[in-house]
Chains A and B, each alone.
Chain A
Amino acid sequence: MVNELKSSRLDAAEKSVAQNKKLIFTIISYLAILAIFVNLNNIKSPLVGLIASAFFFVINAIFLGHAFLENEILFFRFTFGVLLLVMLLGFVGWLIMIIYNLDIIEFTLVLVITTTLSSLLNRRMKHKSASQ
């Protein structure tokens, strides 16, 4: 019973992130990127990096998981979202590294592009499934 309650709460939380009303979670993700950037330049704390990265990862993994595996259960949707996010980060990072390099500015650019793409993909798939 307790497990079911927890699971439904998690489901609801994940759905609200995926719905991304008024782009609130995209903005939170951009703020997480800002925190990572400031941390890299000034604070240099792994703890701050871990917390900001966790926000970035959870939000964008939910976006991507929802975009591609809407019909799977929460666990698989989320883990698959994480894998897709790793791939997207890798691809954008690889491309920018080949074009120039991956210093702090370019790295931040990779995160911004990834968040924007995840958010766009999530919205596009949502509209697609709504129209079907």
Chain B
Amino acid sequence: MQVSNPKSSKLLLIGELLYIFLAVLSLYLLAASRTAAAHTVWQALHPAFIPTLFVATSLLLTILFTCEKTTHKLILIIAYSILIHSLFFMIFPAGDSSGQQMVLGRTRLVFDNTVLHGLSGWPTASVQVFIVEAFKGTNLQAALTTIFARMLCIDIFYVHLFFIPILWGVFIPIATFLTTKTISGNESTAILASLLVAAFPYTVYFGAISVPNSLGFIFFFYSVYFMLKHLSGSDSKTGYLMVVFSLFSFLSHYLTGIMSFSILLLTVTLKTYGSEKRSSSTDARILLTISFLLSASLLPLSFIYLKYFSTSTNPVFTLDKLYELPLQEIIGQFLIGDLTYSFDFKTVLLNIIGSFIALLWMTCLLVRLKRDPDAKSRTQILFLFVAFLIIVIDYGITKVFMEGLPLNVERLWVLRDFTAVPFVALAVCAVVSSLQAFLKAEPPKTIYVAGLKALPKRNFLWILTLILTVNIAIPALVAGWTTLSLTAAYPQLAPLQTTSYELEAAKYIEANTHEKYVVIGNIWTIYAGEVIVGINNPRAYYFGEYNKTGYDLFINMIQNPSPQWMLQAMNYTNTRVAYFIITEPRLGTEEFNSTVSKASQNDLPVYATFGNGKLYIFCYEK
């Protein structure tokens, strides 16, 4: 649909240019917020960023309600999506600590050709172990980021940090658009959905960190889209694609893969149900029920079988929580997990409001569609509703009835949000349509504000109210919701992230040591070191994050910083130089000063200092 009125077209162009300006300004404010040391993004974020983002989101929403081309709207949403997922890598020197830095520590080994045959290496305990290790998501992500880093001829550090935010920013809004369009058949609703996906805090968080699970979420969402397409048509390509995306989802991360296969099973059954219900309705219903139960039990059961492949975890079913916790806490755990113990009402609300609206709207639609069994998108809506239920049930089972899980199952909320977002958009659009019907006015087109003078006087007040509601109140409300969700998406409390001087120290050691070396440090030193040289690199050795020997050596060095422990570390790692790193903000001033003075008493020379004396490196050579 094209804008026919040249005046409106000019207004639209001005609006788009203003939005682009605000988006660029937001990006500049993010770049200006970059800091050497911070705990959370909120400590360093420029105070003008959130107001600018709010205005940009409101303007974007207004543009979405115009007759601009769908592809142009999607490009504007993609720019927005990349922006809101960039906070970690734009503000912190090495992105968010822990998960993504651990993945980078392993990926660097592939990039620097330090390991052969994937991250597990060869030989392993057995061929089965090698196969299981090869299918771990870190391998796929390591291969992808290494390929991109080599293609662009830049260091893997930058490619890794940008990888998921860019991929997520581009492909998730498109997946949301396509999914919503398949069930609603309406492009305006689909466009709104592709923006509203940013209103779900967990989804925003996982789009901002480069971990294999995030990659799995992207493939999961596309598998859901092709499942919906498969349900509505008979094209064999969509059938292949839904299987391919499910397989890639599994290759990226077993959690998303197993959920994808659960829902794939449901798709196949629903397709069969559709064709068999007329001939044998009871059989078809029994098949559907069995499939639902099997799909819902696939994830909890797979966790149990996980212990046969990985010795580090031991998930079990348990009734302990049922006996120990009061009823309201059990219900709270089942529905909102650890948020039960959160005293921040705003965070709880932002995490559940979207799914709650979606559940209400799904139920409403299904009740309406019951009266019309031949409605076009009935099966697709039913499919998404059942998928949503399976995810919620799986979350509840794993949260309340299981223990010893290898991950926090709140990650399932991202999958829940993916199935919920089309219905939130449908609900918002229904509210707008109801307003239109109530006020008996023209469709909401912001650009028609200019034509208000031409309206008959008796309708003036009604139309003005409509314009204010649709063009100001609703965009402001939705923009406020989306912007506010960022406060719940990015943590408000966190340990000190990897600082720039920790990175500088790791780079300095790497650049100035020509022999094999080992570094003794705490977990934060390891995070900084592994993003520069990788983890357990035999040439530049940083102990694993949870390595007991490395931890014991560090504690011994803090208590008695002497060459004895450094020699022990060198013998253990077959290296010729050992470094010991301590940082004042991590240790505390008193312990830091005490360690420095003990080291000088033991004749341990200071190799270098960084961050205006906040970080000391001690060195000892064989």
Contacts and interface: CB of A to CB of B under 8 A. Distances in A.
Chain A: interface secondary structure? Answer: helix
A5 interface: no
A101 B116 CA distance: 5
A89 B144 contact: yes
Interface string B164-192: 00010011001000100000000000000
Contacts of B217: none
Interface string A46-86: 10111011001000000000001000010110011011001
Chain B: interface secondary structure? Answer: helix
B268 interface: no
B139 A94 contact: yes
Interface stretch (B148-156, B376-384, B577-585): B148-156
A68 B242 CA distance: 12
Contact of B140 (A49, A90, A99, A107): A90
B110 interface: yes
A73 B187 CA distance: 13
Interface residues of B, number: 36
Given A56-B151, A75-B71, A94 B140 contact: yes
Interface residues of A, number: 40
Contacts of A90: 140, 143-144, 147, 248
Interface in A12-55: 36, 39-40, 44-46, 48-50, 52-53
Nearest to B155: A46
B142 interface: yes
Contacts of A101: 110, 113, 115-117
A96 B69 CA distance: 42
Contacts of B170: 79, 82
A49 B117 CA distance: 26
B146 interface: yes
Given A89-B147, A97-B139, A101-B117, A49 B174 contact: no
Interface in A80-118: 80, 82-83, 86-87, 89-91, 93-94, 96-104, 107, 110-111
A41 to B, nearest CB: 10
A3 interface: yes
A98 B118 contact: yes
B113 A103 contact: yes
17 contacts: A36-B151, A36-B153, A44-B153, A46-B152, A68-B237, A73-B71, A76-B178, A79-B171, A83-B171, A90-B144, A94-B139, A98-B118, A98-B134, A98-B139, A99-B117, A102-B111, A102-B143
Minimum-distance CB pairs A-B, first 3: A93-B143, A49-B153, A75-B71
Given A49-B153, A87-B219, A102-B110, 19 more contacts: A39-B153, A46-B154, A48-B153, A53-B152, A68-B237, A75-B74, A76-B178, A79-B174, A83-B222, A90-B143, A93-B144, A94-B140, A96-B143, A97-B143, A99-B117, A101-B116, A102-B113, A107-B147, A111-B151
Interface of A: 3, 36, 39-40, 44-46, 48-50, 52-53, 56, 68, 73, 75-76, 79-80, 82-83, 86-87, 89-91, 93-94, 96-104, 107, 110-111
